[in-house]
Amino acid sequence: MKIKAIAGSEEKVKSDLLILPLFKDNNSYGDLTSSIIGIVEGLIKKGIFKAELNEVYPLTTTEAPHPLILLTGLGEREKINGDRLRQAGGSAGSFCRQKSIKSISLSTANLRETGLLPDTFVEGFLLSTYMFGKYKSENGSYCPELKILSKDRALKSRLPEIEAQIQAVFLCRDLVNTPSNDLTPDAFAKQALKLKSRKVSVKVLTEKQIASAGMDAYLAVAKGSKNPPRFIEIRYRGGSKKSVVLIGKSITFDSGGISIKPSSGMEKMKYDMAGGAAVIGIIKAAELLKLPVNLIGLLPAAENMPGGSATRPGDIVSTISGKTIEIANTDAEGRLALADAIEYAKRFDPEFIIDIATLTGACAIALGNEAAAAMSNSEELIKDIVKASEATGEKVWPMPLYEEYREYLKSEVADIRNVGTDRAGSLVTAGYFLKEFAEDIPWLHIDIASIAWTDKDRPYCPKGATGFGVRLVTRLLRNLYQK
Ligand code: BES
Ligand code: MN
Ligand code: ZN
């Protein structure tokens, strides 16, 4: 991926494809010739190309310096905003990726008049060019070159930031797409170790060290697997104040354990470490963007498998603090690992904790595949995440943690049960469970089970891992700590 902003014009810069973003009416065409403008306006007038948002139409030409002009719909002029631009850019990028078009230029004549920077258009374009081709013998990579026809300094200065974000999102997507045989807890730790740099240090705890730290609830998840757990601790030192702790659910495969899942769709449970991968992406972005904040990423990695030594439903374990948990269902494993990670985080006296987790199937029941769910003991953090959500287009919806839910988690034999007594409310009871361990530390839980993976191509996200959370939380941190 290569991007640059150059001072050329539509008629002078050569490329294989020119992206021409178009509204439904009153368009600007830069210096394209009147015959091309005539053809385009004709297509719009006849309704062959309607310029709807996310509509694209490849127009072949003989006279322009580009053999192809991709008419890219922006929809109604009055409705345009940052995320609609991002989507339009994504639709253009998806087309280029599917056709393997390498040399691309972007006309900004129309975008300039919206008063919005075309930065989100470019971001969407780049996000959509992602390909996971590592396991394909042929056609496994795509690396386009984008020339943005713009002299705008503000846009130019935004490009390194966009590239940093994209790099971080792609890193996250790569990790999530990697199958579990190649991404065991130990392999995940090795990937995290690659973050090491002047400002980033990584420490990995082995099973023995996890046990001596007292994280028995987390260890219970790993017991059925031959692949031992790894507790990954990543530190980014960019600031001088208290740290923010980011915890990512890092179950490298979730079979359900003894409470085994149905086999249909189980192959997707390789993405149960998407929270951990997002944390890796966020720390990568923080480093590239030189964010003035201290971050500690905690990734309790484990594989949830059935087996002779696996945890049984009904077993009782305790976390670092000694709180006892009745494991009524071994498929509610994420919260066991996260409970210990949250308690472990307390030793850092954090400013606040954010956990990101593919925690519940109920998250997708509630929100479909469009948004993540947020729960918190701090109204401030909810406001912060909603604001970051609006800026990034990564949708987040707040859910309540009413005290009444405590009752659902009541155990006859231990301090708490890891699942509610019935399925009702299982999105929020999972959040409530974690809240019991966060106690009075400001904490935000983001359930991304609904959105960490997509089965269909989306405007700026091809099928597979979405990388959700990286841009979102990086934005939250920038809003709170930059300047
Ligand atoms: N990893 C799953 C949640 C999940 C489901 C993520 C589908 C992505 C897609 C989690 O560990 C789980 O199994 N949760 C159970 C909890 C239940 C036993 C209370 C669930 O949601 O079914
Ligand atoms: Mn599970
Ligand atoms: Zn899980």
- pLDDT, residue 341, reads 99
- pLDDT, residue 64, reads 76
Q: Are strands 68-75 and 56-60 parallel, antiparallel or unpaired?
A: antiparallel
Cα 478 to middle of ligand 2, angstroms: 32
Do 147 and 104 contact (CB within 8 A), yes or no? yes
Q: How confident is the model at residue 356 (pLDDT cuts 50, 70, 90)?
A: very high
- pLDDT, residue 196, reads 98
Do 250 and 302 contact (CB within 8 A), yes or no? yes
pLDDT (tens digit, 9 = 90+) per residue, 214-227?
A: 999 999 999 999 99
Q: How confident is the prediction for the chain on average, in pLDDT? A: 97
Cα 384 to middle of ligand 2, angstroms: 29
For the question of whether the overall pTM of this predicted structure is more than 0.95, the answer is yes
Mean pLDDT of 96-111: 96
Mean pLDDT of 40-61: 97
Contacts of 181 (CB under 8 A, 6+ apart): none
**Catalytic (active site) residue 261:** yes
CA angle 135–139–141, rounded 5-degree value: 75
Give the phi and the psi of residue 243 in degrees, each rounded to 5.
Answer: -85, 155
- pLDDT, residue 422, reads 86
- pLDDT, residue 197, reads 98
2-153 CATH: 3.40.220.10
Mean pLDDT of 281-310: 98
* pLDDT above 70 as % of the chain: 100
304 close to ligand 1 (CB < 6 Angstrom): no
pLDDT (tens digit, 9 = 90+) per residue, 152-209?
A: 999 999 999 999 999 999 999 999 999 999 999 999 999 999 999 999 999 999 999 9
pLDDT (tens digit, 9 = 90+) per residue, 433-468?
A: 999 999 999 999 999 999 999 999 999 999 999 999
Q: Is the pLDDT of residue 140 over 90?
A: no
d(CA 213, CA 220): 14
**So where are the chain's domains?**
2-153, 166-481
pLDDT (tens digit, 9 = 90+) per residue, 244-292?
A: 999 999 999 999 999 999 999 999 999 999 999 999 999 999 999 999 9
* pLDDT above 90 as % of the chain: 95
Q: How confident is the model at residue 110 (pLDDT cuts 50, 70, 90)?
A: very high
CATH class of 166-481: alpha beta
- pLDDT, residue 63, reads 78
d(CA 2, CA 15): 14
273 close to ligand 1 (CB < 6 Angstrom): no
334 close to ligand 1 (CB < 6 Angstrom): yes
Which residue has the least CA distance to atom 7 on ligand 1? Answer: 361
Q: How confident is the model at residue 388 (pLDDT cuts 50, 70, 90)?
A: very high
Query: Which of 77, 261, 387, 395 is flagged as catalytic?
Result: 261
Q: Is the pLDDT of residue 1 over 80?
A: no
- Which one of 273, 331, 445 would you pick to mutate in the ligand 1 pocket, going by the greatest count of ligand atoms within 8 A of its CB? 331
Cα 332 to middle of ligand 1, angstroms: 6
**Catalytic (active site) residue 97:** no
Cα 175 to middle of ligand 2, angstroms: 19
Q: Is the pLDDT of residue 478 over 90?
A: yes
Q: At what angle do helices 82-98 and 119-128 cross, to 10 degrees?
A: 40
- pLDDT, residue 113, reads 83
Q: Is the pLDDT of residue 139 over 90?
A: no
Query: Which of 335, 417, 458, 478 is flagged as catalytic?
Result: 335
Mean pLDDT of 352-359: 99
- pLDDT, residue 436, reads 98
